[in-house]
Amino acid sequence: GAGVSQSPSNKVTEKGKDVELRCDPISGHTALYWYRQSLGQGLEFLIYFQGNSAPDKSGLPSDRFSAERTGGSVSTLTIQRTQQEDSAVYLCASSPYLTPEQFFGPGTRLTVL
């Protein structure tokens, strides 16, 4: 079956603009996660969804970051008023209910000029 997909694969934006990153998890996976990876910070957890609710938003770095998940499936990560330090690869992962192993998408490389 299809794996986790993310779009766009690359996004270049100007400082101050808003961006939306999309994640399509594996069908039937109830848990969905967002991470970001940058040279300076490594892999950082951002937010975790179980179904449509987000029991853990602890990793969101500022109130410019938000995420939603609808229909227990697709998720969108929105970054408002982007800053240069937001440049990173944003990774999405999903997992079946109560399963710790995560399946990752290919990521979206965000560059803020």
Partner 1 sequence: SQQGEEDPQALSIQEGENATMNCSYKTSINNLQWYRQNSGRGLVHLILIRSNEREKHSGRLRVTLDTSKKSSSLLITASRAADTASYFCATALRGSGGGADGLTFGKGTHLIIQP
Which positions lie near partner 1, rule CB under 8 A?
Answer: 4, 30-31, 33, 35, 37, 42-43, 45, 47-48, 50, 56, 58-59, 89, 91, 93, 95, 97-107
CB of 13 vs partner 1, minimal distance in Å: 20
CB of 20 vs partner 1, minimal distance in Å: 20
Q: How many CB atoms lie within 10 A of CB 35?
A: 21
CB of 42 vs partner 1, minimal distance in Å: 5
Burial of 34 (0-12, 13-18, 19+ CB in 10 A): buried
Q: List the one residue out of 87, 86, 100, 79 whose CA is nearest residue 33.
A: 100
- Taking the least distance from each CB to partner 1, the nearer of 14 and 100 is 100
Task: State the maximum Cα–Cα separation within the chain, in Å, rounded to a whole number.
Answer: 40
